[in-house]
Amino acid sequence: MHERPREGTWPLTVHHLNELLLICSLVLLIAVAAVRISSRSGLPSLLIYLGIGVAIGQDGIGVSFNDVGLTQIIGYAALVVILAEGGLGTKWHEIKPALPAAAALSTVGVALSVGVTAAAAHYLAGVEWRQALIIGAVVSSTDAAAVFSVLRNVPLPSRLTGVLEAESGFNDAPVVILVVAFSAAGPVEHWYLLIGEIALELAIGAAVGIAVGLLGSYGLRHVALPASGLYPIAVMAIATVAYAGGALAHGSGFLAVYLAALVLGNAKLPHWPATRGFAEGLGWIAQIGMFVLLGLLVTPHELGDDIMPALVVGLVLTMVARPVSVFLSTAPFRMSWQEKTLLSWAGLRGAVPIVLATIPMVAAVPDSRRIFNIVFVLVIVYTLVQGPTLPWLARHLKLRETEPEDLGIESAPLERLRGHLLSVAIPDGSKMHGVEVGELRLPPGAAVTLVVRDGSSFVPAPTTVLRHGDELLVVATDPVRDAAEKRLRAVSEGGKLAGWLGATGTIKGK
């Protein structure tokens, strides 16, 4: 017996699927082409993706979309992927010294920013206190996608890069808790209980994330999967397990997924370049889908009355709240005023605040549509200002730094031989250029078995001189695998005299 479609609905057919696939693929192609524009202009690509959504929406082509709940669900799923991709690309040696400062910015800094911004929204923009606190919490989170996107084009000292990456990965968790608390029915009566709840959720999320990351990395390093393409899928699945496990344990799923990805990204997993490429591609798809959907949710002709309040709140956030939170929360740490100034200006907002602005809409908070509009305008305007000017500011503060390209090493397990096959690409600028194979001084149990040069391969002799662009195949047994990789990185950094001249292979290593 066939059920008839409910009244007012239509069944999804293959024809509808074909139309949907055509539209989505065209949007993806346009978004991919737009990345070139954003990379040249210095604008975070999110603005272009939001623009595509607005152009497709009600005031553009005419597609009507107002499903806030679906937008929030897809936004959360996209943030999981974006945080996972960011964690996989974050180097532990860069963020380790920055963890105390990043933790302070993500907790004390967020609290200061929420207070100052909420006061501005209430006293300067005439917003009620509850809505003002929601706005303050929503816009106090720096956006991981925007930060990661801009940092790819702005070579900053590793210490600043570590602070910004760790902060953007950490501060989503406490901000989500604050927004949910402020959007709940009834006032927040006991602030100490709210602070305790935030601390507990962060602790649970951190424990789950680290545990899942360690277990996952151990498993992937000791189990040889039958196909290299399975490793990227397994890594992203493990990161997603961390999010779901953290959330189901009443902890912070966002912190869990970031920490799990951070552990996995620094575990020297097999076929790592392929995994990074896969994760980066998923990250782009998540950004495009999320931003286009958020753009569809906006109705530009309704923004008129909210432009001025957004500009006022954004000005206070950018010029007062963010600098105050940075300078006060990092006061215990030894940082120059130039570094604090750049951190203040690099607090980029993006899709995270816009996604969080859907929480009060789903909770039916009064004036929630106005909150969404204010946040949307604020993010657009101040991202247009901050993104392109960040390289200029870094240059004038003399904080730009050019680092040599890291030595690319990909590992594939040889389970039956209890060894590893290392694929080593020698980049431009590497001091391995001009070094003989015998001068690498690899540990016993490791040897260069093949050199690929200009499209041809040959078995090297101990006197074979290595060049830029060469790709080496190195076989290493399990006990010396890490030592062999460390030695290769040291030679790439310091030349054949590495070890005697101080280069150890740990500066660029993960």
What is the residue-level pLDDT of the chain in tens, covering all 510 positions? 444 444 444 566 777 778 778 888 888 888 777 766 666 655 566 777 777 888 887 777 777 777 888 888 888 898 899 889 888 888 887 788 888 888 898 888 888 999 999 999 999 988 888 889 999 999 888 876 677 666 666 677 777 888 887 888 788 778 888 888 888 865 556 677 778 888 888 899 999 999 999 999 988 888 877 777 888 999 999 999 999 999 999 888 888 999 999 999 988 888 777 888 888 888 888 888 887 888 888 877 778 888 899 999 999 999 999 999 999 998 888 888 888 898 888 877 777 788 888 888 888 888 888 898 898 888 888 888 887 788 788 888 887 665 545 666 666 666 656 677 888 888 888 888 889 988 888 988 888 988 998 888 899 998 999 998 888 888 888 788 888 888 888 888 888 777 665 555 553 434
- Domain at 29-396, CATH from 2.60.40.1180, 3.30.530.20, 3.40.50.150, 1.20.1530.20: 1.20.1530.20
Beta-strand (E) ranges in 417-507?
A: 419-425, 446-453, 456-458, 471-477
- Domain segments of the chain as ranges: 29-396, 408-494
CATH 3.40.50.970 describes domain 408-494: no
Q: Tokens 């047994």 sit at which residue?
A: 477
CA 509 – CA 91 distance, rounded (Å): 8
Position 241 scores a pLDDT of 95
Number of Cβ within 10 Å of residue 285's Cβ equals 14
3-state secondary structure of 451: strand
Taken as a whole, the chain contains a residue count of: 510
Nearest of 289, 298, 288, 290 to residue 57 by alpha carbon: 298
Number of Cβ within 10 Å of residue 447's Cβ equals 15
Position 320 scores a pLDDT of 92
Position 510 scores a pLDDT of 41
Position 477 scores a pLDDT of 84
Position 421 scores a pLDDT of 81
Which residues on neighbouring strands pair with residue 408, listed in sequence order? Answer: 425
